[in-house]
Amino acid sequence: MPKQSDIDRVFHALGDPTRRAMVETLGSGPASVSALAKPLGISLAAVVQHLQVLEESGLVTTEKVGRVRSCRLEPKGFRVAEQWIADRKSLIERKFDRLEALLSEEPTPPSGDEP
Amino acid sequence: MPKQSDIDRVFHALGDPTRRAMVETLGSGPASVSALAKPLGISLAAVVQHLQVLEESGLVTTEKVGRVRSCRLEPKGFRVAEQWIADRKSLIERKFDRLEALLSEEPTPPSGDEP
DNA sequence: TTGATTGTCAAGCCGACGCTTAAGTGATGG
DNA sequence: CCATCACTTAAGCGTCGGCTTGACAATCAA
C-alpha cells in the first residue's frame, strides 16, 4: 500500500500542466532533457527542475549515459494515482448502487412491505 | 472526450492535499461545509474556497438547502483523471510488451528471419 | 424579535512554485 | 588541446495559491 507521502508527491507532480505535458511526450518513448524542453519552449534548467519532481514522485526514471540524460515513464507512480482514484470511485458507485436500490422500488423487493 | 482545460482543472484540484482530504471525507457520504472543515482544522472560508475549485473541476457537486450546503462526490471529474492516467499507462505497457517480445527471442517469431 | 447557527464575500498576507539568467561541469568531436 | 554540446547548479524574481480575519447575509429555534 502506498504511503500518504507517496500520494502527495504523485498528485503534486501531476498538478502542473508543464509536467503533464512532459509525461505525455514521454508516452511516445524515452527522451533526453533537451528533447523534452523543445516542445515546451522553456529553458533547460526549468525542465531539469520539473524532472526532479517527476522522479521523486516515481512517475519517471532517468539515467545518464555520457552527457545525455535519458528519461522514461515509470509505471509505479501511475499505479499510485490510479489506485487512489479507483478507491474514491468505488465509494461513489457503491452509494449509487444503494440509491438505485432505494429508488427502483422493485415489484419484488427483498422484504415486501407494500399493502 | 474531455477537453484539455477539464484535465487541467481536475489535476489542479487533486494537486492540493487539503482538497484530497475533503474528497476522502466525502467518500463516506455527503457532508456539509462545516462537517468538511472540522477534521481539517481550517476556517470555513478556506473550505468554501476549496469547494469552489472542486466544483469547477467536476469532482464535487453541492446543493444548498436552507442554510446548509450539502456536498457530494461526482463521478464525472474522476473519470477524466482516470482516463488520462489509463492512457499514459497503456503507452508504458505497450512499450513493455514490445521490449519483452524483443528480449525473449522466441523460437517461433511471427515472421521468421533467421538463417 | 432576538440570538445562534451556517455559510459567503472581500481584502490582504506570505510562503511556495515556476521560470529565468549566469556561471560551472563533464563528455565528445575535430 | 580546444571548442562545442548537453546538462547542472545557484541565485533571484514575480506570480499564484492557500489561509486568515472581519464584516455581512440568510435561516432556524425559542
Mean pLDDT of all residues in A75-88: 95
Whether residue B115 lies inside any domain: the answer is: no
* DSSP element (H, E) containing A103: helix A75-103
Flag whether residue B20 sits within 8 Å of chain A, measured between CB atoms. yes
The per-residue pLDDT for A112 is 33
**Nearest residue, CA→C1' of C9:** B45
Task: Please give the grid coordinates belonging to residue B99.
Answer: 521490449
Return positions of chain C under 7 A from a protein CB: 5-11, 17-22, 26-28
Work out how many domains chain B is built from and give that number.
1
The per-residue pLDDT for B115 is 32
The per-residue pLDDT for A107 is 40
Q: The CATH number of the domain where B23 resides is what?
A: 1.10.10.10
d(CA B5, CA A17): 10
d(CA B50, CA B20): 10
Interface of A with B in 33-62 (CB under 8 A): none
The per-residue pLDDT for B100 is 56
pLDDT tens digits, B42-77: 999 999 999 999 999 999 999 999 999 999 999 999
pLDDT tens digits, B101-111: 554 544 444 43
Mean pLDDT of chain B: 86
Question: How many beta-carbon pairs under 8 angstroms link A with B?
Answer: 76
Whether residue B109 lies inside any domain: the answer is: no
The per-residue pLDDT for B48 is 98
Decide: CB of B50 under 7 A of nucleic strand D: yes
Whether residue A94 lies inside any domain: the answer is: no
Quickly state the pLDDT bin for A100 (edges 50, 70, 90): low
The share of chain B scoring above pLDDT 70, in percent, equals 82
Whether residue A100 lies inside any domain: the answer is: no
Strand partners, A96: none
Could you give the C-alpha distances from B22 to A39, A87, A88, B60, in angstroms and in order?
36, 14, 11, 10
Whether residue B20 lies inside any domain: the answer is: yes
Whether residue B56 lies inside any domain: the answer is: yes
Flag whether residue A107 sits within 8 Å of chain B, measured between CB atoms. no
The per-residue pLDDT for A92 is 82
Quickly state the pLDDT bin for A95 (edges 50, 70, 90): low
Whether residue B113 lies inside any domain: the answer is: no
| Domain span at B65 | 4-76
Whether residue A34 lies inside any domain: the answer is: yes
